[in-house]
Structure 1
Amino acid sequence: MSIGLIIALLLMLFALFLLWQGRREQQRAGLPLGRLLYTDLHPLQPTERVLFDPQTGLSGKPDYVVQQGNVLIPVEVKTREAPLQPYLGHIYQVLAYCLLIESHTGHRPPYGILRYRNRTFAVDYTPQAEQTLRDLLAEMQNATPRTLVRSHDDAARCARCGYRAHCDQRL
C-alpha cells in the first residue's frame, strides 16, 4: 500500500470522526438532528440578519436554525435551569420565531425548540398557538402607556430595565 493511499484513508477516518463528534455535540446541546444553518450565539460568526414579518411588525433572530429536509426549526437557548414547565414568555418567543421563519421562507415549521441548560422542550406551532400569538401581538400593538401594567415582582429586573427613566411605575 502506498503512503498516499494510507494518508487518504487516515484523512477519511478523521473526517468521519469529526462528523460523528459534531452530531454527538449537536444532540448533547439539545438541538434536533439536521443541518445547522446558522447560530446567533457564536462570537466569531458574522451576525445573521434580523427576520421581519411586515404583517405583524415582528422582528427577531433565533439562536439557531436547524434544517431538517425542507423544514427549518428555530431553536432558542436559555442559560438557566429548566422550570417544571417552560415559561409562557419563552414559549411565545419560540412561537414568534416560528412565525418569522414562516413569513421569511413561506414554509411553516411544525415546532420550535426551547433549550434550557438541563432540558429541552418542543413547542408545537399549531394554528391555535399561532392565533394566540397573533392576538397577543395585536394587543401589544394596541396598548397605550395608560393601559400598560408592568410586572414589578422582581425589583432587580426593574432596576436593570432600559425604560426605567421613563417609567411612571418603576420601583
Structure 2
Amino acid sequence: MVRAPWFCGVVCRVSSGSLWGDFIELLLLGILLMIGAVILLAYAIRIRLTVREGKKSYGIPDGMILYSDLNVPAAPLFSKRSRLAGKPDYIVQKENHCIPVEVKSGGGAHPHQSQVLQLAAYCQLLEDTSGMFVPEGILVYNNVPYTIPFDPKLRFELESVMKNMRASLRNGVVKRNHQEPGRCRHCSMKRYCTDVVREGP
C-alpha cells in the first residue's frame, strides 16, 4: 500500500481553511452590499416622499417634474418667436402635455392679474420652446392652487400687454397704472422710478 506524503494532509487542511476564509469574506461582502442596497432604497423612498409632500403643499399636479427653479436655479427658457424669456418655478408633464407652475404669495384673497399674466407668459414660452400645446397653467397663491386656462381670451390679453410694454420701451415712457403706495414700496424697480406713489402723512 502506497502512503500519501505527510505534507498532503497539511495542504488539504490549508486549502480547506483558505476556502472557508474566502466563503466568510464573500458572505461579509454580500451582507455589506445588502445593507448598502437597503440604505439606498430607504433614501430613495425618503426623497420620493419629500417630493410628493412638496408637490402636495405647493398644489403641483401629479406628473413628472421636468423643470424646477425653486430649489436650484435653472437655465431660463427663451422664445425668439414671442421674444420672451423667463423661468417658471416648475414645469410638470401631465398626460400628453406640459404645464407651467408658478408659486406666489401675497396679502390678497386671490391672485393678482399681473401674476396671471406672468403665468400666461410662461404658458406661451413653454408652448414656443416645446412645440406642444399648453392648455393651462397652475398658479399656487398662498398655498392654494388655481388652474388658469390658457384660452384665447388670455392669449389675446397677453399679446396686447406685450405690445404695450414694447411700445413703452421704444418710447422711453412708462406710466404708472395704480395709486397704491404699498406696491411702490415693495417694487424692485423703485430706485429707478420717477413716478413713485408717496406714502401718506
TM-score scaled by length of structure 1:
0.77
SS at match of 1:109: coil
Asked whether the 8 Å contact 1:152–1:158 carries over to 2, the reply is no
Deviation of the 1:99 alpha carbon: 0.3
Tell me which of 146, 149, 159 is aligned to 1:124. 149
Q: Equivalent residue for 1:154?
A: 180
| Aligned residues with identical type, % of pairs | 32
Deviation of the 1:25 alpha carbon: 3.5
Name stretches of at least 5 consecutive residues in structure 1 with no aligned partner. Answer: none
Q: Equivalent residue for 2:25?
A: none
Counterparts of residues 129-144 of structure 1 (less than 5 Å): 129-143=154-168, 144=171
Q: Equivalent residue for 2:77?
A: 51
Deviation of the 1:96 alpha carbon: 0.4
Q: Equivalent residue for 2:105?
A: 79
* CA–CA separation in structure 1 for the residues paired with 2:193 and 2:49: 52
Asked whether the 8 Å contact 1:82–1:118 carries over to 2, the reply is no
Matched, 1:109 2:138: no
- Output the amino acid matched with 1:153: Q
Change (3 A) 1:122 1:162: closer
Q: Equivalent residue for 1:38?
A: 67
The root-mean-square deviation of aligned C-alpha atoms, in Å, is 2.9
* CA–CA separation in structure 2 for the residues paired with 1:152 and 1:131: 22
Aligned length: 165
Change (3 A) 1:138 1:49: same
Q: Equivalent residue for 2:54?
A: 25
Asked whether the 8 Å contact 2:58–2:103 carries over to 1, the reply is no
More helix by share: 2
Deviations 1:12-51 (A, max 9, x none): 9745565355324322321011111222111xx2x22111
Q: Equivalent residue for 2:89?
A: 63
TM-score scaled by length of structure 2:
0.67
Asked whether the 8 Å contact 2:58–2:144 carries over to 1, the reply is no
SS at match of 1:77: strand
Name stretches of at least 5 consecutive residues in structure 2 with no aligned partner. Answer: 1-29
Deviation of the 1:162 alpha carbon: 5.0
Deviation of the 1:66 alpha carbon: 1.1
Q: Equivalent residue for 2:117?
A: 92
